[in-house]
Chains A and B, each alone.
Chain A
Amino acid sequence: MASTSDNGFRTRLGRVRGLGSAKSGGAHWLAYRMVAVLLVPLTVWFLYSIVRLAKAEHADAIAWLHQPVNAVLLLITLIATFHHAAAGMREVYEDYIHGKLARLIAIGLTNGAAILLAAASVFAVLKIAFGA
């Protein structure tokens, strides 16, 4: 591991240079995976619920979201889903869009859209859950 030139005279910066990025890529990678693991049970639950609501009238859907368990689980599912979607789309852009500015714009617009949709859907769930 330690090379012959690593004799204590080298600065800390000199020792880590060339060993890879020191930015937030590791944390991003881990967050993407942890949210993905979380989404496995949540999306299966969501699919099960949606199947049961397949022929639902408005009152049935409202009654379903009046249950605190359903509202809370759906809120977590929504936030995790939009995080995962934005992270996934970012990975696609990073692979296929080679212009730096174009890539930045695509990632920025997608993140913005994800935040907007997450806020709208969370607001809708809360409105129903707290509504009469």
Chain B
Amino acid sequence: MSETSVAKKARPLSPHLQVYRLPLPAVSSITHRFTGIALTVGTLVLTWWLVAAASGPDDFDTAQHVLGSPIGLLCLLGWTWAFGYHLLKGIQHLIWDTGTGITNASAQRSSALVFGGSFVLTAIVWIAAFAL
């Protein structure tokens, strides 16, 4: 009887999303995916902006007006953060590809650094954009 309960305790956890409390590196990993998808959608806006610039002042002013509207600015803020995050997380992955930093403690630290850094980067970009 007691043997079964000990055996039950020692069972490994399957990383199933509904029963597994996600550790920080796992949250960080799925965020990398989400930001990548969001940035892919953002390439549509980038292309639109460039095409508008190429087609003349009127179209470019329209694009600048839409991007400068409250919803436009909110999207740009989101994309700035997504970019900063994806950049830092991507650098972490490139470092991991060399076999460096792949321990639980190190992944925990660097994942926290990626999250923190992404907010710092976003703040720097937006302060610079409004100050310059």
Contacts and interface: CB of A to CB of B under 8 A. Distances in A.
Given A33-B97, A58-B61, A120-B47, A89 B53 contact: no
Nearest to B121: A47
B53 A62 contact: yes
Nearest to A85: B40
A92 B36 CA distance: 10
Interface string A53-89: 0101011011001000000000000000110010011
Interface residues of B, number: 31
A117 interface: yes
Interface in B94-118: 94, 97
Contacts of B23: none
Majority DSSP secondary structure for residues of A touching B: helix
Interface of A: 33, 36-37, 39-40, 43-44, 47, 51-52, 54, 56, 58-59, 61-62, 65, 81-82, 85, 88-89, 92, 117, 120-121, 123-125, 127-128, 131
A56 B53 CA distance: 11
Interface string B49-68: 01101101100110010000
B27 to A, nearest CB: 17
Contacts of B4: none
A61 B47 contact: no
Contacts, number: 72
A117 B54 contact: no
Given A33-B94, A82-B43, A88-B36, A124 B87 contact: no
Interface in B59-94: 60-61, 64, 80, 83, 87, 90-91, 93-94
16 contacts: A36-B93, A36-B94, A40-B87, A44-B87, A47-B80, A52-B132, A54-B130, A58-B60, A58-B61, A59-B57, A82-B43, A85-B36, A85-B39, A85-B43, A125-B50, A131-B54
Contacts of A85: 36, 39-40, 43
A88 B89 CA distance: 14
Contacts of A88: 36, 40
Contacts of A117: 43-44, 47
